[in-house]
Structure 1
Amino acid sequence: MSRRHPTLYFEDGDVVLSSDSADGVTTFYRIDKILLCRQSIIFREMFSLPMPEILGEMYDGVAWVRMPDPTEELERLLLAMYDVSTLPLKRRDPDTAILLSGAMKLAKKYEIESLRSLILRHLEGDWPQDAELWCDFRHDIANAIDLHLNNPPQFRYAGQYIDERFPEAASTLLFALDHNCPTLLRAASMLLIGRTSEWKSLQRDSRDMQYERLASMRVIHFPAVRIHLLTDAHLAALKKGAEALSAELKKVANAELPVVSRAGCRSCSDNLVVWREVMGKKVAQMLLQGPDPISVVRKLYGGNNRPETVVCQPCWARDVKAVKDYRQKLWEDLPAIFGWYEQMSR
């Protein structure tokens, strides 16, 4: 069975590409070689060869190339090459990583750097890219949970369920590993080691969601993630990372964070050590969302927590900076802590 693509079959196109779907349907695309060559190094090199060497077949009066890529992926790629607005680039959509994975794979395969960069920038915009933004992201989730819980019986806010307002971590993790995008690994990993629920168990149809108890569970158990997508190797890496971050939290609890230079006030340095011991005792109360030393440390050592009676402003400022540097260094090290580089495609 075959068909001509409804929008990507131009009568004045000078080359036909074809691809096969999973159910055996062949789709034909009649398009412009110049468009392919301008955006893709691989297509440019391919079409620079003598035509008989790469083609040898004709379809509808023009050269015909049988593509090895599945229709679902090639269609998305070609549509984006003609009109990038066809890409599903809705901000913070939980399905984005799944919907864009095929296009990203072919953009990398055919070296279409402009498209690859666009997709990556969009996903990076959905996920926090430094330690401070990660803490803000966690705060956004907490606020969203409150908003939705205060809107029974559907528990929707601004026309959406809570899991429709945030990106989904497991599919993003797989996207990052499959397409060599380490900038997406950090936040997705941190969300996955928190208090999460299986995505499929909380997705209900509209009839189910009319019942208040079921609708509320979608909020109470947020964030939900597609755990079923993860392999044993992924789960083992997440366990390894969670254990390492739990060890970091023990350091926080034991006041073992970097101590400011004693070149400042000696009494302030001593008092800061005592202060950290006091604050460290609060760590156990802040672990409900999983082992997250980055967020915990910001809450403990935020600017509003300065012990004014025992630490002067210059020493406190140096201490806050030292702790901020610690958070950012830990954030940057997350892919190595989880061991993701060993699983990442090249």
Structure 2
Amino acid sequence: MNPNAVFERHPDLYYSDGDVVLAVKQTTKPDKLEDPPMYTLFRVDKLMLKRHSVTFANFFADADAAPTEVYDGVPLAEMHGDKAEDFALLLNYLYHPYSLVFKRHDPNTPLTISGVVRLADKYLIQPLHHCLVQQVCNDWPTTLDEYDIQQAELDKFLQVSRAHPFPKYTPDRGRLADAIPEPVSAILFAQEFGCPQILPAAFYSLSLIPLSDDWGNNSDWPHPARDHPLARWSLLDKENLLRYTHGCQMLNEYRPDVWRFMCEECAIQPGPLDVPGCKPVPCGLYIKRLFEVVWNPGLRVSVTHGDPLRLLTRCLKYDEMPELSKENFPHRLCEECYQTVFFRLLGERVRVWDMLRKWFNLKLE
């Protein structure tokens, strides 16, 4: 090690009874090029590390076989290529495995733990890898049912937060984006650390965020960015930006096919819905109007697309829509179509969810 190096003991992970000191270079750059490097020192127990990691066991075996530097009466070893803040999280997990729990829906979690997951892989500590990856996965739904539950929870959260004249999304009156998962960092995390099951939900969430709503937007009140989900667009690479663009296009073009929501008897009757001079099927007219009302561009929640999963849910309330009243549609729906349209709307939501992988060009794994 550099004889002029500056050492700084970690405030919590420097144990007086430890039998080895591990030095990790700090990532902060010196004020001047000629300034000596700075290291964070961790005094720990070899046995603790060797029990968790065969890589550490081999490392200490090699170190014991050769002359080593001594610091504070015990061997000193430099951990090349590691970052002090990540190494501290790694050691904290080994000494206090139940303390490594992050706030639910914290948008910073993927960025905070990426470095220590890489260390877990480097030192072959699979339980730590699994624990940390699961922290991110827990914030993202992997099924439509989980997605619906999360959206219902978010809707209620927004209702409560916005009941006050000055919406309060976090205890310190932060932005909405500070209280919900952030999709870009989650996407990059999932792709690097092998949890593709969260990608459909993360890309769908991202698809509802326009490029103008960037994480770095001014958050001072009353800036509108405070009330919007935001994305770390600067982190998104070209390939994922193409996925986003393609998915937004497919979702924007999506419209339900009227005939798929009619009962078999009505669906086979002649009468195109858009051909002048032909008498269309009443049920077809009703369902066509239903989709026109719900897909009204003026009701869109985002400039990117209309959010088909939410719109199809809104369609389930066709009985409550004044545009579909008996005055406007005396025949309403036949008894068979009345049941058919409800259950096929539910099925269509499942189909749209399943299509997300294709629409965002995600690999099936």
- When the two structures are superposed, what TM-score results if normalisation uses the length of structure 1? 0.76
2:258 aligned with 1:255: yes
CA distance in 2, matches of 1:337, 1:147: 34
Structure 2, unmatched stretches of 5+, are: 1-5, 30-36, 270-280, 321-331
- Matches of residues 24-35 of structure 1 in structure 2 within 5 Å? 24-35=37-48
| Counterpart in the other structure of 2:355 | 330
CA distance in 1, matches of 2:317, 2:148: 12
Residues 296-336 of structure 1: per-residue CA shift (max 9 Å, x gap): 3333247978x8743268756753563254144224x2xx5
CA distance in 2, matches of 1:312, 1:235: 41
- Matches of residues 149-298 of structure 1 in structure 2 within 5 Å? 149-152=162-165, 154-156=166-168, 159=171, 160-161=173-174, 162-196=176-210, 197-204=213-220, 209=221, 213-214=222-223, 217-220=224-227, 222-247=228-253, 249-250=254-255, 252=256, 254-255=257-258, 266-267=265-266, 276-281=287-292, 282-285=294-297, 287-289=300-302, 290-291=304-305, 292-298=307-313
2:84 aligned with 1:71: yes
Work out whether residues 315 and 345 of structure 2, in 8 Å CA contact, stay in contact via their aligned partners in 1.
Answer: no
Shift of 1:37: 2.6
One-letter amino acid of the counterpart of residue 255, structure 1: V
Work out whether residues 261 and 345 of structure 2, in 8 Å CA contact, stay in contact via their aligned partners in 1.
Answer: no
Residues 123-150 of structure 1: per-residue CA shift (max 9 Å, x gap): 2222222123324434444444443333
| Counterpart in the other structure of 2:34 | none
Structure number with the higher helix fraction is 1
| Counterpart in the other structure of 2:273 | none
CA distance in 2, matches of 1:312, 1:277: 13
**For residues 236 and 51 of structure 1, do their structure 2 counterparts lie closer, same or farther at Cα, with a shift above 3 Å needed?**
same
| Counterpart in the other structure of 2:12 | 7
**Which one scores higher on RCO, CA 8 angstroms, separation ≥ 6?**
1
- Matches of residues 104-143 of structure 1 in structure 2 within 5 Å? 104-143=117-156
**Residue identity (%):** 22
| Counterpart in the other structure of 1:57 | 68
Larger Rg over CA atoms: 2
Work out whether residues 4 and 28 of structure 1, in 8 Å CA contact, stay in contact via their aligned partners in 2.
Answer: yes
| Partner-residue secondary structure (3-state), 1:183 | helix
Residues 230-285 of structure 1: per-residue CA shift (max 9 Å, x gap): 233432221122123334x13x2x437x679x8xx635887876665343323244
Size of the aligned set, in residue pairs, is 320
Structure 1, unmatched stretches of 5+, are: none
Shift of 1:20: 0.4
CA distance in 1, matches of 2:25, 2:156: 46
Work out whether residues 37 and 43 of structure 1, in 8 Å CA contact, stay in contact via their aligned partners in 2.
Answer: yes
- When the two structures are superposed, what TM-score results if normalisation uses the length of structure 2? 0.73
Residues 176-234 of structure 1: per-residue CA shift (max 9 Å, x gap): 22323213322221122214411221333xxxx4xxx34xx2444x1122223223343
Of the structure 1 ranges 284-293 and 179-188, higher mean CA displacement relative to structure 2 is found in 284-293
CA distance in 1, matches of 2:132, 2:353: 25
CA distance in 2, matches of 1:320, 1:226: 34
Work out whether residues 149 and 155 of structure 1, in 8 Å CA contact, stay in contact via their aligned partners in 2.
Answer: yes
